[in-house]
Chains A and B, each alone.
Chain A
């Protein structure tokens, strides 16, 4: 399997196929992340497409000292934020899936899912930090880079987010035992 750097070089030289390989490598992870941040599945799909298109367009500005996935997530976070601040649709036009797209995408939803709790109780930035650190296993340095924040801010945010989630988890466990599995 070719390294990301080789594929980036090939894409910069004009190879659409090389970039297509990068798309195949990262689209599932990015899409999962975007589902936790976007209001609808269609929004997540649009954000995914915009992310890869922007990455291809500005590939020359990618700096090799960062992981390629960090750069992609940075673009994706911006795209998701742009979708979030667009004018709201009239209530009567809301599709049913907007109720909670994330809940629909979770296997065995009856057992509960911490990312639903994170979406409910954490800020989008804290949620993104948690995702990048624990779902994507990125080091704190890369998480900070993706969020455009300092490492100190990222560490503090991760700590607070974990504490908040643990508190919610404890409350629900003592309440009805939803997240005991």
Chain B
């Protein structure tokens, strides 16, 4: 096998692989163009960022609202949303705890028939509306959070 490896090395070197100067020049030119395009794109992106920053600063100056006010308003919004989400389900559970237990299902079939026709009793699902309400509240909280994040970005 060592002899074979030696032949592979020797035969690889016998492949004429002189890159034509035109190809080398073509590669260098392509790389140079790519570098120029990259630097142009970078400069344009920086310019856009600077313009956007200037616009936001101008808008803030125009409204005259200090950054602290924005932050305070946003925090108030978050606190209110949290209070709604955390307190409402607890109130609902208190009401549920105070509500009388549903009466046990009464067997309406005589025992001898009940053995042949077992009575299957299922509890009704009455928590659907509450769950919908909870979903709505979560959605409201998400919206409030996004609004706060957007405001803080200014």
Contacts and interface: CB of A to CB of B under 8 A. Distances in A.
A and B: real partners?
A: yes
Interface of A: 14, 16, 19-20, 23-24, 27-29, 31-32, 35-36, 45, 48-49, 52-53, 56-57, 102, 105-108, 113-115, 130-131, 134-135, 162, 165-166, 169, 179
B60 interface: no
Interface of B: 1, 4-5, 7-9, 11-12, 14-20, 23-24, 26-28, 30-32, 34-35, 39
Which 5 residue pairs are nearest across A and B when measured between Cβ atoms? A32-B17, A135-B12, A134-B8, A114-B11, A113-B11
B17 A53 contact: no
Contact of B35 (A14, A45, A131, A179): A14
Contacts, number: 91
A134 B16 contact: no
B34 to A, nearest CB: 6
Contact of A28 (B17, B27, B30, B34): B17
A36 B8 CA distance: 13
Nearest to B22: A45
- Chain A, interface SS category: helix
Contact of A115 (B11, B16, B20, B31): B11
Given A27-B19, A48-B23, A166-B1, A130 B14 contact: no
B27 A48 contact: yes
Given A23-B31, A27-B19, A28-B19, A162 B14 contact: no
Contacts of A48: 19, 23, 27
Contacts of A105: 15-17
**Among B9, B19, B26: residue with most chain A CB under 10 A:** B19
A31 B19 contact: yes
Contacts of B30: 49, 52-53
B26 to A, nearest CB: 6
B153 to A, nearest CB: 27
A115 B12 contact: yes
A16 B12 CA distance: 30
A151 B76 CA distance: 59
Given A32-B12, A166-B1, A52 B27 contact: yes
Contact of A45 (B7, B15, B23): B23
B15 A32 contact: yes
6 contacts: A14-B39, A28-B17, A35-B15, A48-B27, A107-B14, A115-B12
Contacts of A166: 1, 4
B82 to A, nearest CB: 42
Given A131-B12, A134-B12, A31 B17 contact: yes
A16 B32 contact: yes
